[in-house]
Structure 1
Amino acid sequence: MSWGGFPAAAWHWSRSLRFRLLVVTVVGVAVAVVLAGLVLSGLFREHVQRQFEATLLQQLDQVTARLEFDGQGQPVVAAQALSDPRWLKPYSGLYWQVDAMAPDGRSRVGVLRSRSLWDTSLVLQADALTDGAVHVHEVVGPQGAPLLVLERTVRAEGVDAARWRLIVAADLQATQAATAQFTRVLGLSLLVLLALLAAAAWAQVAVGLKPLQALQRGLQDVQQARTTQLQGAFPAEVQPLVNDFNAVLTRNAEVVERARTQAGNLAHALKTPLSVLENAARAPAATDGAVMAALVHEQVQMAQRHIDWHLARSRVAASVHLPGQRTALEPVVAGLVRVMNKVHAGRGVDITVGLPEAPLFFAGEAQDLQEMLGNLLDNACKWARSSVRVQAHIDGGQPLQMVVSVEDDGPGIGTAQRALALERGVRLDETVPGTGLGLAIVQELAALYAGRLDLQSSELGGLRAALSLPAARQALPQ
């Protein structure tokens, strides 16, 4: 079973984006349709009422124009002079009447009335009317029919106390029926419109969320190893998410591949010292103990060096993309110089440091900076005759780089051999102790930080190792 293209087990109305969008849209449309129906129905009813009142007012004006007074001040209306034949038809739905208004507020109902009223009269509640003013009422008329009534008062000329109320009334049933019919048709029309809009909302939600189904299928393909990336064309709103997810997949694949490579490299690197130790263990018992101890010590150091190197690479690979890392250069250099002065104290090497006054900061971890500069300084001190120099400056390019150079006055390395010196395990001079990993470690760690190591000729006569690393922007001089 499925619902809208999604498995039934994975769908629940409380968590369904499709359901939420559809409910919000339908509820909003329903509220708008109901309000529109109420407004339109009210406007139509008001319009019909105004039209009806306007027509009835014309009838009132006509009766008022035909009203005359005889010599005794009594009202007379020439019924034959009225134009509408409904005045003469009993209970036709159109009526007029004249009431006498006494000074004490009492009235005589139906002094004159239209033939259409037959033997009935219109009874209205007492109403304070100024002369000429028109009031509108709704009352129950002959045969229980609802009537709309317009009334006004007039005075007979020359008779100050005589006031007369003219009444014109019309049946509201036809108007109410027309209004009810309009409301029914309007309601049915709006109900059909609501159904169509709900269907359109469903189609809109289905079409709008369809790319999520394609995204789900793509994720299933990745999960089931049918592909390594999300494939297909997605809308502009979804494509950035797909791109970011593919970037994460690529990053994870690189991490896995790098882990496999590092594991293989470490295993390969440990084969040599392990083989040497195995061969030494199989040697005759007459082997000198001191020689054996030196051999074991040397091979263990080499194995430890390989392990430290791979651990350092793993640590850098995990932290190189973390934001906000910042390590001051000067304390790291000062600490390494003190160590090198102690390690190489017997050789009389003079280490000079020339850093700018403005502090420089490496955009990375202090341990990694110590690893790289420590290897360069140790290598320079091993080969220097008497002098080693450390300098640093900012390269203002993009991205911002910090260049640290370590120079010595030793024999240097020829141009043809510099690339070879950067390879792992290669030692250009076997007479100098080492593992051949120092420069290779520096190069690979720098590469992980998007930096580089360049070997050049030094003004001191030996080698100049220029290490370019990312610099924290806060380190720029103000």
Structure 2
Amino acid sequence: MSAPPATPGAWRGSLRLRLLAGTLAWILGTIAVAGWGLSGLFAQHLSRQFHAELLTHLDQLTAVLAFDADGAPTLASPLSDPRTRRPYGGLYWQVERLDGRQPDGTPPLRSRSLWDGALGVPADHPADGEVHRHRIDGPDGKAVRSIERVVRPAERPQEAWRLVVAADETLLSAAQDRFTGQLLLALGVLAAGLVAAAVVQVRIGLRPLARLRDGLATVRRGEAQAIAGRFPSEIQPLVDEFNGVLARNAEVVARARTQAGNLAHALKTPLTVLANAAASEDGPLAGLVREQVATARVQVDHHLARARAAAAVQVPGLRCALCPVIEGLLRVMERVHAGRGIRLRLVDCPADSFFRGEEQDLQEMLGNLLDNACKWARSQVEVQAQCSDGMLRVTITDNGPGLPEDALHAVLERGVRADEHTPGSGLGLAIVRDLAQAYGGSVRLHTPAQGGLCAALHLPTA
């Protein structure tokens, strides 16, 4: 499953992105500092090695320096490095008087690698035996690094001679470039491995949170009453507390239902006594008592149903199958209205449709709608159920006289009846509306093109 496109500031709302961003920044920063440090250390090591090699060649030049009978400098033996004998070979040396005066007719003594050029060493005056380092322009316009030393021959202590050895700087930079390339490649592979390890670590580390989310979704869909399974020690206390809240909530709701039942029983007993007393009497007062007792019973049932639904909505994990409830109600309505010859038909009901709530409340809503349709139908009542976008849609259509447009909304109000001559209290549709709204649903009435009345009940699905 592909991740949703990132929006500005999205990393602030995602723990995974924040962990990955922090880890990635730390890895890249650490590797950058390590690369810079290693490159610098290698450059220092290479520079020291380069100058140590130059000093070795300078010591060798000092050791083989000799003078002939005319006082002209010469080498007792050639230097061991063949680069000094190859034109522009990269390693150079020269010998000259410190004061710049050469013996008459004697050319400057320098390596074959200099060809016709010379090393332009700055005109400083180092002490005898002292070594100076310079970065100068060498032959063919290339930069070279040089070291020099002033010596005084034992047979000519009054003469000071400057001995210079230089090497092409590209020898140093080429080695540095090769090392830098290999270092970048190695650090790149290391960074890729660390990033991959960080991604895997974050995914594995946050997997319990995904399990927790799935567990919560299971509870919300009504497939479980609590979050099941074991979680890491950092998350398990949260799961235990959440399950404790769910259990406590269920306990409170169960106690509220018990109290509501007790209240209903306490109210219905005196109402029954009053109804029985009024039934044995005639007259206006007895008729009024019977009427008010019937109204009180309906009101008690109505408000108890609302209280039960409001409590049930607060309990996660409730669910009931839709089709068995509809089929059972259809069988009941066939017996109740058997004398009218009404045909009740279930057109369609997906087998995997579930209502997220109490089965008793679902029976209350569908029972009122079916009973109302059967009262007004001439010969047929059709029921159809659909499920889409997380909602159940149950439509109950009859072929009765229907209702005018201005009465479709009014009959949903409490106590409003479409026909005062038809038995009823006018609370059935109001109860359906209130119960549906308590569950986050709705009920709507409309007149189909073929006539009659269609009631559409929308409820959340599990």
TM-score (norm 1): 0.52
**Match for 1:46 among 26, 44, 47?**
44
**CA displacement at 1:76 relative to structure 2:** 1.9
Residue in 1 that maps onto 2:150: 153
- What is the Cα deviation at residue 133 of structure 1? 1.8
Give the whole-Å Cα distance in 2 for the aligned partners of 1:110 and 1:37. 50
Q: Show CA shifts across 1:368-387 (max 9, x none).
A: xxxxxxxxxxxxxxxxxxxx
Q: CA RMSD for the aligned pairs?
A: 3.3
Alpha-carbon distance in structure 1 between the residues aligned to 2:159 and 2:49: 33
8 Å CA contact 1:99–1:110 kept in 2: the answer is no
Could you list the per-position Cα deviations for residues 340-391 of structure 1 after superposition, in whole angstroms to 9, with x for gaps in the alignment?
A: xxxxxxxxxxxxxxxxxxxxxxxxxxxxxxxxxxxxxxxxxxxxxxxxxxxx
C-alpha separation in 1, matches of 2:5 and 2:58: 73
Q: 1:62 aligns with which of 60, 64, 80?
A: 60
Find the counterpart in structure 2 of residue 17 from structure 1: 15
Aligned-partner Cα distance in 2 for 1:150–1:200: 50
Whole-angstrom CA distance in 1 between matches of 2:34 and 2:55: 31
Q: Tell whether the 8 Å contact from 1:67 to 1:75 is kept in structure 2 after alignment.
A: no
From 191, 194, 199, the counterpart of 1:194: 191
- Go from structure 1 to structure 2 and tell me whether the alpha carbon gap of 1:280 and 1:75 turns closer, same or farther (over 3 Å shift): farther
- What is the CA–CA distance in structure 2 between the aligned matches of 1:244 and 1:27, rounded to whole Å? 35
Query: Offset at 1:53?
Result: 1.5
Find 1:76's aligned residue among 49, 73, 78: 73
Letter in 2 for 1:126: A
CA contact (8 A) 2:66 2:76 kept: no
2: CA distance, partners of 1:84 / 1:195 = 44
User: Which piece of structure 1 moves more, 34-43 or 246-255?
Assistant: 34-43
Give the AA of the match of 2:228: Q
8 Å contact from structure 2 (residues 64, 77) kept in 1: no
Q: 1:122 aligns with which of 119, 123, 141?
A: 119
SS for the counterpart of 1:222 is: helix
Q: Hey, what does 1:214 align to over in structure 2?
A: 211
Q: Supply the AA of the counterpart residue of 1:255.
A: V
CA change 1:7–1:221 in 2 (3 A) is farther
**In 2, distance between residues paired with 1:256 and 1:58?**
94
Residue 246 of structure 1: how far off its partner (Å): 0.5
Deviation per residue, 1:107-166 (Å, 9 max, x gap): 879842223222111001223422222122222211123322111122344867633221
Partner residue, 2:89 = 92
Alignment TM-score, normalising by the size of structure 2:
0.53
> Equivalents in 1 of 2:140, 2:240: separation in Å?
80
Q: How far is the alpha carbon of 1:191 from its aligned partner?
A: 1.5
Matches within 5 A, 1:227-306: 227-271=224-268
Aligned positions of 1:78-477 closer than 5 A: 78=75, 80-102=77-99, 111-157=108-154, 162-271=159-268
1:384-440 per-position Cα deviation (integer Å, ceiling 9, x unaligned): xxxxxxxxxxxxxxxxxxxxxxxxxxxxxxxxxxxxxxxxxxxxxxxxxxxxxxxxx
Cα distance change of structure 1 residues 107 and 176 upon mapping to structure 2, 3 Å threshold: farther
Which amino acid is the alignment partner of residue 63 of structure 1? Answer: L
1:213–1:8: structure 2 CA closer, same or farther, 3 Å change rule? Answer: farther
Secondary structure, aligned partner of 2:133: strand
Q: CA deviation at 1:183?
A: 0.8
Identity, % of aligned positions:
51
Aligned residue in 1 for 2:28: 30
In structure 2, the CA distance between the partners of 1:180 and 1:119, relative to structure 1 (3 Å rule), is: same
Using the TM superposition, give the Cα deviation of residue 178 of structure 1 relative to its aligned residue in structure 2, in angstroms: 2.1
CA distance in 2, matches of 1:36, 1:97: 41
**Separation of aligned partners in 1, 2:211 and 2:16:** 15
Q: 1:203 to 1:110 in 2, by over 3 A?
A: farther
Equivalent-residue separation in structure 1 for 2:114 and 2:121 (angstroms): 15
| 8 Å contact kept, 2:227–2:239 | yes
Return the letter of the residue paired with 1:24: G
| Aligned equivalents of 2:180, 2:65: Cα separation in 1 | 40
- Provide the secondary structure at the position in 2 that maps to 1:80: coil
Whether the aligned pair in 2 keeps the contact of 1:97 and 1:110 (CA below 8 Å) is: no
Report the 3-state secondary structure (helix = DSSP H, G, I; strand = E; otherwise coil) of the residue aligned with 1:153. strand
Distance (Å, rounded) in 2 between the aligned partners of 1:96 and 1:168: 4
Q: How many residues align?
A: 278
Alpha-carbon separation, structure 2, partners of 1:2 and 1:89: 65
Distance 1:100 1:58 in 2: 21
- Amino acid corresponding to residue 237 of structure 1 in structure 2: E
CA distance in 1, matches of 2:281, 2:183: 110
Gaps of 5+ in 2: 283-462
- Measure the CA separation in 2 of the matches of 1:284 and 1:93: 133
Contact 2:65 2:76 in 1 (8 A): no
Deviations 1:37-57 (A, max 9, x none): 112222222222222211211
* Aligned partners of 1:147 and 1:170 also within 8 Å: yes
CA distance in 2, matches of 1:53, 1:282: 124
The answer to whether the 8 Å contact 1:98/1:111 transfers is: yes
CA distance in 2, matches of 1:130, 1:219: 86
For 1:138, give the aligned amino acid: R
Contact 1:151/1:168 (8 A) holds in 2: yes
Q: 1:66 to 1:7 in 2, by over 3 A?
A: closer
The answer (yes or no) to whether the contact 2:96–2:108 under 8 Å persists in 1 is yes
Tell me: CA distance 1:282–1:89, structure 2 relative to 1, closer, same or farther (3 Å): closer
Deviations 1:62-100 (A, max 9, x none): 11122345677x452315353333333332222211232
Counterpart Cα distance in 2 of 1:161 and 1:15: 84
